[in-house]
Amino acid sequence: MNHLFYNPKANNGEAYKDLDMIKRTLDGQTVREYNLLEFDDYTDLLEQIRPEDVVYIVGGDGTLNRFINNSRNLSIFGDIYFYSAGTGNDFKHDVDPDGKLYRIRLNDYIANLPVVNVKGKDYKFINGIGFGIDGYCCEEGDRIHAVGKGPVNYTGIAVKGCLLKFKPCNATITVDGVSRKYKNVWLAPAMLGKYYGGGMKVAPNQERGNPEHMLSSVVMYGTGRLKTLIRFPKIFSGEHIRYKDMVEIYQGHEIKVQFDRPCALQVDGETIPDVTEYTARYE
């Protein structure tokens, strides 16, 4: 039996094309389809799945995050495959940099994931936590989607944020119990993978699945709008880390970030508004 979980809104509503392609490859086989947006908890659905069945997930990073956080006991299943059909596709960029895989076997990647606590609730994550202008970009993207203004240009939102709209925060960053204070913080993520935000290589030296179970904290801080805007595009190639006067990187098992005012936060592209702090742990 094949179980096909999909998000019809992924890739600005174009994910149905990938869904149709996958169904053609399974032609003649028994397939059950599930619209992930129709369920808040997948427990009852997953209880129908046997170890010999195959699970397929079609969508973007947010779809993958939703599936992981709304499911339990994923380790009991057989093969779980992910078809990347989103707008950002950061997980695929990280695990398939050459773009050779048309599907990714998820089992090993989701066997042990870090957890972030936000507003008293725990969320697993597979790419990273964004806090700062990246969270602002996701919040703005959600607003554009909600009013139906078409595809979202996150790079354009980031440029406008650097120039005008986003106000950097003062922050306390605590990594494995050691705290440091920063002024004018633009970014303060905790990363399991290298990418977020649709191809931003924010943590180029982070190795997913590292045996030490380390996360990377990448702090961009201390600069004015114009200087930040000039250097910000380097984040797409990972070269932003060369600017030692505005970027510091730490690794640890626990990363806590506290801002001096509420900001939007994103977990694998899923937005949480009005957040003042988060704690990410990787055990």
What pLDDT digit, counting tens, does each position of 254-278 carry? 999 999 999 999 999 889 999 999 9
Residue 186's Cβ-count burial label (10 Å; 0-12, 13-18, 19+) is buried
Q: Could you report the per-residue pLDDT of 42-68, keeping only the tens digit for each?
A: 777 777 888 888 998 888 898 899 888
Average pLDDT, the chain: 88
In the chain, domain spans: 2-105, 115-281
Positive or negative: CA dihedral 2, 32, 68, 237: positive
Pick the CATH number of 115-281 from 3.40.50.970, 2.40.240.10, 3.40.50.720, 2.60.200.40: 2.60.200.40
Residue with tokens 């988060």: 278
- 74 pLDDT exceeds 80? no
CA torsion angle for 250, 252, 255, 257 (degrees, to 10)? -10
pLDDT of residue 237: 94
What integer pLDDT is reported at residue 170 of this predicted model? 97
* List of residues 6+ apart from 232 with CB closer than 8 A: 158, 159, 162, 240
Fold: same for 2-105 and 115-281: no
d(CA 214, CA 206): 8
- Indicate the burial class of 57 (C-beta count within 10 angstroms; 0-12, 13-18, 19 or more): buried
- Cβ contact 64:12 at 8 Å: no
State the pTM of this model: 0.89
What are 129-174's pLDDT values in tens digits? 999 998 888 888 888 777 776 667 777 788 788 878 889 999 999 9
What is the DSSP annotation of 83-96? EE-SSS-HHHHHH-
- Specify the higher pLDDT residue, 242 or 58: 242
Q: Is 20 helix (H, G, I), strand (E, B) or coil?
A: helix
Task: Please check whether residue 202 is in contact with residue 241, taking contact to mean a CB–CB distance below 8 angstroms.
Answer: no
Which pLDDT does position 25 carry in this prediction?
Answer: 79
Handedness of CA 158, 161, 162, 166 (dihedral sign): negative
DSSP 32: E
CATH architecture, range 2-105 = 3-Layer(aba) Sandwich (3.40)
| The pair of three-digit structure tokens given for residue 142, joined into one six-digit string | 């959600």
Q: From CA 146, how far away is CA 152, in angstroms rounded? A: 11
For residue 244, pLDDT beyond 80: yes
Q: Which two tokens stand for residue 225?
A: 């709008």
Does residue 266 contact residue 272 with C-beta atoms inside 8 Å?
yes
